[in-house]
Chain A
Amino acid sequence: MADWIEACAVDDVEEEDVIRFDHDGRTFAIYRSPDDEFFATDGFCTHEKTHLADGLVMDDIIECPKHNGRFNYKTGQAKGAPVCVNLATYPVKVDAGKVMIQI
């Protein structure tokens, strides 16, 4: 059974933005969409080991800061070269002002 882990407070992530969350030797990216929903994916781009949290969130897209590879952070879908492999996503819930992810 996967555990729910507290990733950050709701206010830690601005609207249409992303932050990095490290846990147990792994890195995740926590997103807040323009319509105020939270999402979580692996923290590294699947193309090369670059932190997506340094990238740009546009609508439902996260763009990697190194080669501009794009993913839909809600589904993890890679949106074309130079990213070809989808991003792992994780269930998210908000509980008492905290963003929890299930890993």
Chain B
Amino acid sequence: MTTMARKRDYSLVGESTRRAIETGLASAEWYHTDVPRKAMKELMQRSDGPAIRDTIIWIAAILGSAAGIVWFWGTWWVVPFLFVYGVLYGSSSDSRWHECGHGTAFRTRWMNDVVYHIASFMLMRNPVQWRWSHARHHTDTIIVGRDAEIAVMRPPDLLKAGLAFTGILDFRYSLPTLVRQAFGKLSDDEKSYIPEMELNKAVVAARWHVAIYVATIALAIALRSWIPLVLVGLPRLYGTWHMVTTGLLQHIGLADNVVDHRLNTRTVYMNPISRFIYWNMNYHVEHHMFPMVPYHALPRLHELIKHDLPEPNLSMWHAYREVWPVLLRQLKYEDFYLKRELPPTARPYRGEFHEVDMSAAAE
């Protein structure tokens, strides 16, 4: 079922899409570790407290580092402030976008919505389009032809993956996309996952974003200063590296076209600072299996189900060392992937969905 003799077609309206629907990979039933309802109910419980605390810290750090940029502009002392501001704006906004998009960060809905829209703007993501693309990502995680959020396609383009750390490619894609959408043009791929009744909302959202960028550029011209652009928009370039460093590890080098998150998703232990920036999304298998569990409960969920999951990577460095040879192998044989071993306590993978002939990769 998963063997792909033909090259992968990552369009969402192409041959791979047709095959995914035909073979039942699209909108399939996915594997879940058994968790007693009582325990799951406790883990799913929402609370405003942790996210309010983290958001106050986040906003205070953003404002503080922005003040440092303005104050020290024109001196070398500005560099550490750019470093901090860039990561807070260009990277940690991704996890805020993500958690608030799921509606799990805060218990109170409007708080999720406010942070979601702010973070979407920081990321140059259309909040309507990306809400739907992420829903699709959870329905059809790394199903070729269905998932709109596959970061590294096969065979991997290593130059493109490397440039992703600079934010250049994303910036080059995101801004023109917003402008195109602001003119009312949505692509066929976008229309494949955004319901018709939401298309106009996507256009309106894009117009708001573009209007703010136009106002920022006008302010920079009026002030004859780069500072407005350094604070709004450009952090998407110079601060995106942490988001890419953590985010690429979610699925890279692992299986595609399977219906078990243990095979296509990776959990990585990370340091506390990265976990704050990333809002615990390093527990990514757990998140995909149970997206109802808020970020602050993911470590508890991990402890509860780790007997059924592959051993997590011990660090980001450990994970990248594991991934690199897989990517090199995929350059020659794109069906190759890293099949992670399960502990003896785990329920086995379902072979009928996940067996891929690797003999050609071994040659």
Contacts and interface: CB of A to CB of B under 8 A. Distances in A.
Nearest to A56: B44
8 contacts: A48-B27, A58-B107, A65-B290, A66-B138, A66-B139, A68-B103, A81-B135, A82-B131
Contact of B292 (A48, A63, A79, A84): A63
A84 B104 contact: no
A7 to B, nearest CB: 17
Task: List the 6 closest A-B pairs by CB distance, nearest first.
Answer: A82-B135, A56-B44, A67-B135, A68-B103, A68-B102, A65-B292
Interface string A13-38: 00001000000000000000000000
B184 interface: no
Nearest to B137: A67
Interface string A76-95: 00010110100000000000
A84 B296 CA distance: 28
Nearest to B113: A80
A43 to B, nearest CB: 15
A74 interface: no
B292 A68 contact: yes
Interface string B104-140: 1001010000000000000000001001100100110
Given A17-B41, A81-B198, A67 B138 contact: yes
Contacts, number: 45
B176 to A, nearest CB: 24
A56 B41 contact: yes
Q: Which of A47, A79, A82, A84 has the most CB of B within 10 A?
A: A82
A65 to B, nearest CB: 5
B107 A66 contact: no
A48 B41 CA distance: 22
Interface string A48-84: 1100001110100001011110100000000101101
- Which has the most chain B C-beta neighbours within 10 Å: A54, A63, A67? A67
B128 A81 contact: yes
Interface residues of B, number: 23
B291 A68 contact: yes
Nearest to B138: A67
B180 interface: no
B115 to A, nearest CB: 15
Contacts of A68: 102-104, 291-292
A12 B291 CA distance: 26
Contacts of A63: 103, 292
A84 B27 contact: no
Contacts of A70: 103, 109
Contacts of B107: 58
A49 B40 CA distance: 20
A56 B132 contact: no
- Identify which of A49, A56, A79 gathers the most chain B CB atoms within 10 Å of its CB: A56
Contacts of B44: 56
A48 B140 CA distance: 12
A47 B46 CA distance: 22
A66 B248 CA distance: 23
A65 B29 CA distance: 13
Contact of A84 (B40, B41, B45, B197): B197
Given A47-B135, A56-B44, 11 more contacts: A17-B41, A48-B139, A55-B292, A65-B290, A65-B292, A66-B138, A68-B103, A68-B291, A68-B292, A70-B103, A84-B197
